[in-house]
């Protein structure tokens, strides 16, 4: 029997498990599937942990999410086609839920069947090599500190790429008297109440962590961008300046001449695609981009079609794109989709990479990833979902952010699965301090 290993039980790994479950429900004979998850529970980044650094076994903590994190895009854009929000919550809910609510939704889809039994928890894949037409996987049972090996016909890498921080160094850091941390280790904005905070970066983490610090009472927030400013209309107490030049004692000196006394520096400088557990010849090497090269249809490793990577793209689309990838990958692994010749594969990858390199603005990037997802969607039996509506929602959301970065999360969108419209939340985001599921759902 064909044997498949899935590395990681975050949203991507769970999409893969769900795809096989759905095929089985239709009466198809599915391969043997084993999922390795190095944490004690499933959900990936959505499985919040207070820990930073390493866990009780000495293993680096993969979690990068923090308290009071709310969805930064409309939930309707990530909705599962086969499990709507209405089905899970039994009523329409607002469009920008906090982390605990999305976690509940992700797990709701996979909790009922037999999926959890296929996951080996507290089990870390330490090596993946290809020999004699099989993948040999070594894995560590963290609880018992024992290593084992097993052979598989296919490997699905679903280990995420927002867990290993990229940490640059600036002059003066070693003598800075305050705290320096990466967004990976940021857990609670309360820590920065009354402080002068420097945030470096100009992407989603910089935007959201700066806003969190503002919301929870930081005295001032100075954001240092490197290439392009985010350019939002920042509220009083926040400003965006050009690139940190150096630190001099507690003073941060920026390239545009701005000087700011600082108590803390938060590096929102992104993450590394880091796969030390995969043999170098099989290892994806890329920066965070919309179309990493060497992946056919964004998932099949060009040099060995039995190796699949899920969710390795920079992401506008998330959960339903992961599903489209997983459903497609399942059909490749089950022999229902035949891959074209090496030349065609190469041309297809080059076509997408070349298109990606010409993108100039968020609207074009949204179009690009929507086209990619739609193409995949058409290649499997993943249920009907309105990607044109999702495209429209993403563009509207971008414009809401430009209008007012403090209020975009108060807006409402319609479902691409059921058509129902999310009600306006009972409390505007900037005043909603309690992010529990109970309060959000008004239970």
Ligand X SMILES: NC(=O)c1ccc[n+]([C@@H]2O[C@H](COP(=O)([O-])OP(=O)(O)OC[C@H]3O[C@@H](n4cnc5c(N)ncnc54)[C@H](OP(=O)(O)O)[C@@H]3O)[C@@H](O)[C@H]2O)c1
Ligand Y SMILES: Cc1cc2nc3c(=O)[nH]c(=O)nc-3n(C[C@H](O)[C@H](O)[C@H](O)COP(=O)(O)OP(=O)(O)OC[C@H]3O[C@@H](n4cnc5c(N)ncnc54)[C@H](O)[C@@H]3O)c2cc1C
Binding residues among 44-103 for ligand X as defined by CB under 6 A: 69, 71-72
d(CA 134, CA 20): 21
DSSP category for residue 56? T
Who's near 143: CB < 8 A, 6+ residues apart?
A: 57, 122
* Cα–Cα distance measured from residue 155 to residue 257, given in angstroms and rounded to the nearest whole number: 51
Among 73, 165, 270, 416, binds ligand Y (CB under 6 A): 73
Residue 345 sits at φ, ψ, to 5 deg, of -60, -45
- Does 168 contact ligand X by CB under 6 A? yes
- 70 vs 387, beta carbon nearer ligand X: 70
Tell me if 401 contacts ligand Y by CB under 6 A: no
Cβ proximity of 245 and 93 under 8 Å: no
Going through 258-384 in order, the beta strands assigned E by DSSP cover 259-261, 264-267, 295-296, 300-301, 307-309
Report the nearest approach of ligand X to the CB of residue 27 (Å): 37
Residue number, 204 or 216, with CB nearest to ligand X: 204
d(CA 164, CA 64): 9
Q: Looking at 17-25, 71-79, 141-149, 423-431, which segment touches ligand Y (CB under 6 A)?
A: 71-79
Question: Which 289-348 residues touch ligand X, going by CB under 6 A?
Answer: 315
SS3 198: strand
Q: What is the per-residue binding string for ligand X in 193-232, x denoting contact by CB under 6 A?
A: -------xxxxxxx-x-----------------xx-----
Which residue in 295, 292, 248, 299 sits closest to 272, CA to CA? 292
In terms of Cα–Cα distance, which of 167, 81, 159 is closest to 386?
81
Please report whether residue 94 would count as binding ligand Y according to CB under 6 A. Answer: no
Does 270 contact ligand X by CB under 6 A?
A: yes
Per CB under 6 A, contacts with ligand X among 273-292 are 288
Query: Which of ligand X, ligand Y, none does residue 37 bind to, with CB < 5 to 8 Å depending on kind?
Result: ligand Y
Least Å from the CB of residue 253 to ligand X: 15
Check residue 185 for interaction with ligand X (CB under 6 A): no
Binding mask 109-148 for ligand Y (x = CB under 6 A): ---------------xx-----------------------
Instruction: Judge residue 172's burial from the number of C-beta atoms within 10 Å of its C-beta, 0-12 exposed, 13-18 middle, 19 or more buried.
Output: middle
- Rounded Cα–Cα distance for residues 409 and 421 (Å): 15
Find the binder of ligand X among 100, 106, 238, 268 (CB under 6 A): 268
Site string for ligand Y, 331-360 (x = CB under 6 A): ------------------------------
Q: Helix (H, G, I), strand (E, B), or coil: what is residue 147?
A: strand
The β-bridge relationship of strands 264-267 and 3-7 is unpaired
Give the whole-angstrom CA distance, residue 320 versus residue 26. 20
Determine which residue in the list 49, 72, 138, 427 makes contact with ligand Y, applying CB under 6 A: 72
Query: Length of the chain, please?
Result: 443
- Residues of the shown chain interacting with ligand X in the complex, contacts defined by CB under 6 A: 69, 71-72, 162, 168, 183, 200-206, 208, 226-227, 268-270, 288, 315
- Residues of the shown chain interacting with ligand Y in the complex, contacts defined by CB under 6 A: 7-13, 36-39, 44-46, 62, 64-65, 71-73, 78, 124-125, 158-160, 162-163, 277, 311, 315, 318
């Amino acid at each position: 029997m064909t044997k498949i290993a899935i590395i990681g039980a975050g949203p991507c790994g769970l999409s893969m498990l769900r795809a096989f479950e759905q095929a089985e429900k239709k009466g198809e004979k599915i391969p043997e599937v084993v999922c390795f998850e190095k944490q004690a529970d499933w959900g990936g980044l959505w499985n919040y942990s207070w820990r930073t650094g390493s866990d009780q076994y000495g293993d680096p903590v993969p979690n990068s999410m923090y308290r009071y994190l709310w969805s930064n895009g409309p939930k309707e854009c990530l909705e599962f086609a086969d499990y709507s929000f209405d089905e899970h919550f039994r009523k329409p809910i607002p469009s920008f839920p906090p982390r605990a609510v999305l976690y509940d939704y992700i797990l709701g889809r996979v909790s009922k069947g037999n999926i959890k039994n296929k996951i080996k928890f507290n089990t870390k894949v330490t090596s993946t090599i290809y020999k004699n037409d099989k993948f040999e996987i070594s894995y560590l049972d963290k609880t018992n500190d024992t290593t084992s090996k097993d052979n598989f016909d296919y490997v699905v890498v679903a280990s995420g790429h927002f867990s290993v921080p990229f940490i640059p160094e600036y002059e003066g850091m070693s003598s800075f008297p305050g705290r320096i941390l990466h967004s990976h280790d940021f857990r609670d904005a309360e820590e920065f109440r009354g402080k002068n905070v420097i945030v470096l970066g100009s992407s989603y983490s910089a935007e959201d962590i700066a806003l969190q610090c503002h919301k929870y009472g930081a005295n001032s927030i100075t954001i240092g961008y490197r290439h392009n400013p985010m350019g939002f209309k920042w509220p009083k107490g926040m400003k965006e300046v050009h690139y940190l030049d150096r630190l001099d004692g507690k003073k941060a000196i920026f390239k545009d001449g701005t000087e700011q006394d600082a108590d803390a520096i938060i590096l929102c400088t992104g993450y590394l695609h880091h796969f030390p557990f995969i043999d170098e010849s099989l290892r994806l090497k890329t920066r965070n981009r919309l179309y990493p090269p060497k992946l056919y249809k964004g998932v099949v490793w060009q040099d060995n079609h039995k190796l699949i990577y899920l969710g390795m793209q920079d992401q506008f689309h998330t959960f339903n794109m992961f599903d489209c990838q997983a459903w497609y990958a399942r059909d490749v692994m089950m022999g229902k989709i035949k891959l074209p010749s090496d030349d065609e594969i190469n041309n297809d990858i080059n076509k997408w990479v070349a298109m990606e390199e010409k993108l100039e603005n968020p609207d074009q990037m949204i179009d690009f990833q929507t086209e990619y997802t739609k193409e995949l969607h058409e290649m499997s039996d993943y249920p009907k979902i309105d990607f044109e509506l999702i495209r429209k929602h993403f563009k509207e959301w971008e414009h809401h952010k430009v209008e007012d970065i403090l209020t975009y999360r108060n807006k409402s969108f319609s479902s691409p699965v059921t058509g129902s419209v999310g009600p306006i939340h009972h409390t505007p985001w900037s005043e909603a301090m309690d992010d529990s599921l109970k309060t959000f759902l008004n239970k």
